[in-house]
């Protein structure tokens, strides 16, 4: 039984997944998928790569994810799943690429600058 290990990132979230052949069990940080992501739209977002490649329920996932918020974590996991499915079967690549599942979203939070309130917001200016 081969284990496929890939990594996905989004904003400050980093997800490492271990995919094996199985019956579709998903464990995230030691908890079930429905416990970790209770909202249905987040669960659907996570299962998108499986739906596109028609491999739902064929692989078990063990996920370690840390950093960021829930949306960033889901998108990091989704990227890692997509990369693992491509490493399993190269024929999955065109369908995932067309839906932009293999694209790493590079947008990050801009750093705060000194002498300012936030990254772009300034302190209030008083003329007199």
User: What predicted TM-score, i.e. pTM, was given to this entire model?
Assistant: 0.90
Query: How large is the angle between the packed helices 70-88 and 40-53, nearest 10 degrees?
Result: 10
104 is a domain residue: no
72 is a domain residue: yes
Domain region containing 93: 4-99
CA triplet 92, 15, 119: central angle to 5 degrees? Answer: 115
114 is a domain residue: no
Mean pLDDT of 102-121: 94
28 is a domain residue: yes
Instruction: State residue 1's pLDDT score.
Output: 72
Contact in structure between 109 and 103 (CB atoms under 8 Å): no
CATH number where 18 lies: 3.30.230.10
Mean pLDDT of the residues in the chain: 94
What SS3 state is found at 29? Answer: coil
Mean pLDDT of 115-119: 95
54 is a domain residue: yes
Contact in structure between 6 and 17 (CB atoms under 8 Å): yes
Q: Check pLDDT > 90 for residue 112.
A: yes
Specify the number of domains making up the chain: 1
Tokens for 37, please give them.
Answer: 């992501």
């Amino acid at each position: 039984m081969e284990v496929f290990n890939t990594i996905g990132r989004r904003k400050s979230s980093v997800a490492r997944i271990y995919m094996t052949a199985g019956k579709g069990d998903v464990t995230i940080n030691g908890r079930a998928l429905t416990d970790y992501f209770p909202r249905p739209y987040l669960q659907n977002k996570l299962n998108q790569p499986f739906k596109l490649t028609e491999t739902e329920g064929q692989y078990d996932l063990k996920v370690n994810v840390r950093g960021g918020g829930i949306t960033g974590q889901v998108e990091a996991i989704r990227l890692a799943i997509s990369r693992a499915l491509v490493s399993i079967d190269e024929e999955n690549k065109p369908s995932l690429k067309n839906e932009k599942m293999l694209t790493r979203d590079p947008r990050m939070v801009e750093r705060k600058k000194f002498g300012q309130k936030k990254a772009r917001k300034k302190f209030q200016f008083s003329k007199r």
